[in-house]
Amino acid sequence: MANITKRNNSYLIRVSCGYDTTGKQVTYSMTWKPEQAMTKKQIEKEVARQAALFEEQCHNGMIGRNRNMKLADFCPMYLEIKKDVLAPRIWHEYGKTIDNLIIPLLGHIKLTELKPAHVQKFIQYLQGDVRQKKNGEIDEAQPKLSPATVRRKLTVLQSILRQAVKLDIIPTNPAKAEKLTLQKVVAPKIEIFSKQEAAQMLECLEQEDIQFQVIVQLAIMTGCRCGELVGLKFSDFDYSRNKVTIERSAYKLPGEPIKTKPPKDYEVRTITVNQHCIDLVLLLKADKERQAEKLGTAWIDGDWLFTQWNGEIMNPQTPTVQFRKFLEKNGMKHRKFHSLRHTSATLLLYGGVNIKQVQERLGHGDITTTNKYLHYLAEADEEAANVLQDMLIVQKNSNNDKDEQRSRNIV
């Protein structure tokens, strides 16, 4: 039975777990401090709950093994657990956040002693100016972290502590959102090409090389992510049925070769494309065959649609760079390559395609992700109403002017 002793504004909880091999009594203790707003009855109930939870952990052996484990000691365990769960690029980014921020700021604290107050200080640090160099100077070349970026860094810490809860190392997650105060994040506006802009872009595209034509056409027609497009092989196409199967995505980590993985959310899917896309892919295939014949043994045949000069798979960042230069050259407003995916989704919904079909086509694991495009349809509907209103008002005013002129002529 746990022993509870009140000490000023806190409570000392002790649990005896028998005797060790030398005959010495094994006792563990913890301190719990109630929140100021809690009533006497709430305090009594909560301290009893904390004591029961602590006693259970002691008897299960979790406190004895892990009570002195620091956050810095647990992080490598966390990354090992998550290595085959997170996407490689995300896992790499999590590792950078852990090494550059979480361990330097919080790594010295024991997991069992980490409190929401520590996490809040971590947030306040990120919301401040984190551009300071080791010599104390501010790196003006680096921007301050946006509220969205702060939340992304916090997400890593929350994930680490959730894992610690799952392993019964700590009873609760001190980084739960409801325990913290964060700056409001303004949802970024999704950038899309209008119908007119998309038409202009496709017209300009005809002047580009066949490989760039194909990747942009497929981006608009399929709505695929950039990595999914770069990961396409000619064998993924069913040329008689005008279909393409998306079953891999290319990615590149610093200092490592280009690799592929399953699509995001493991959404392997087959998409129907139009005949024009199929014709372009066949032209690209013939072009690759000519390149392979020309280079001979220097050509590395991987059946990839989008390649480097020697047949190796294209760097997944290349389309972004090429697309930026293409827009600049043709005097078009800058948008990211990913905007082609947004444009594809929006144009499908404009055309009356069912939202479930759009979800499956884009490979969204959750339809709520697809629902965000409905907002733009609502905006377009409001714009259409305003256009009609303006037209009718102009028409009405014009008719009134004509009636007034007739009246003058009669008089």
pLDDT of the residue at 284? 97
Where along the chain do its domains lie?
Answer: 3-66, 71-179, 195-365, 373-411
CATH number of 195-365: 1.10.443.10
d(CA 393, CA 387): 10
Mean pLDDT for 195-209 is: 91
Q: Out of 53-62, 301-310, 334-343, 352-361, pick the least confident.
A: 53-62
Q: Report d(CA 120, CA 103) in Å as an integer.
A: 15
Phi and psi dihedrals of 244, rounded to 5?
Answer: -135, 140
Worst-scoring range by mean pLDDT, 235-239, 269-273, 381-385? 381-385
By C-alpha distance, which of 44, 51, 92, 99 is closest to 75? 99
The pLDDT value recorded for residue 61 is 60
pTM of the model: 0.71
Q: SS3 letters for 130-157?
A: CCECCCCCECCCCCCCCHHHHHHHHHHH
d(CA 210, CA 304): 14
Confidence of residue 28 (pLDDT cuts 50, 70, 90): confident
Q: How confident is the model at residue 236 (pLDDT cuts 50, 70, 90)?
A: very high
- For residue 131, give every residue at least 6 positions away whose Cβ sits within 8 Å of its Cβ, in sequence order, or none: 138, 139, 140, 142, 144
Q: How many CB atoms lie within 10 A of CB 389?
A: 10
Kindly tell me if the per-residue pLDDT of 101 is higher than 70: yes
Who wins on pLDDT, 391 or 184?
184
Tokens of 39: 């009533």
User: How many Å apart are CA 17 and CA 254, to the nearest integer?
Assistant: 50
For the cut 70, the answer to whether the pLDDT of residue 311 exceeds it is yes
Q: How does residue 23 score in pLDDT terms, banded at 50, 70 and 90?
A: confident
User: Which amino acid belongs to residue 399?
Assistant: N
Cα R_g (the chain), whole angstroms: 30
Residue 57 confidence (pLDDT) above 80? no
Q: Are 233 and 303 in contact (CB under 8 A)?
A: yes
pLDDT at 242: 96
C-alpha distances (whole Å) from 76 to each of 72, 94, 98, 233, 256 are: 8, 11, 9, 36, 21
> What's the sign of the alpha-carbon dihedral 384, 387, 389, 391?
negative
At 85-100, the pLDDT tens digits run 899 999 999 999 999 9
Percent of residues, the chain, with pLDDT higher than 90 = 50
CB 177 within 8 A of CB 116: no
What pLDDT was estimated at residue 141?
A: 57
CA angle 95–249–305, rounded 5-degree value: 140
Q: Is pLDDT above 90 for 345?
A: no
375: three-class secondary structure by DSSP: helix
| CA 145 distance to own-chain centroid | 16
Cβ-based neighbour number of residue 215 at 10 Å: 26
Q: For strands 249-251 and 243-246, give the pairing.
A: unpaired
Q: Does position 189 have pLDDT exceeding 80, yes or no?
A: no
Candidate CATH numbers 2.130.10.10, 3.40.50.620, 3.30.1490.20, 1.10.150.130; the one for domain 71-179? 1.10.150.130
Highest mean pLDDT out of 32-41, 82-91, 227-236: 227-236
Does residue 193 surpass a pLDDT of 80?
yes
Among 15-29, 306-320, 340-354, 381-395, the least confident range: 381-395
**Comparing C-alpha atoms, which of 166, 168, 164, 160 is closest to residue 122?**
160
Decide which of 206 and 169 is more confident.
206
Residue 400 makes CB contacts below 8 A (sequence gap 6+) with: none
Please report which confidence band the pLDDT of residue 230 belongs to, taking 50, 70 and 90 as the band edges: very high
pLDDT higher than threshold 70 for residue 318: yes
- Report pLDDT for 161: 96
Question: Which backbone phi and psi does 261 adopt, to 5 degrees?
Answer: -145, 170
Any idea which of 125-139, 204-218, 229-243 has the lowest mean pLDDT?
A: 125-139
Distance CA 316, CA 228 (A): 9
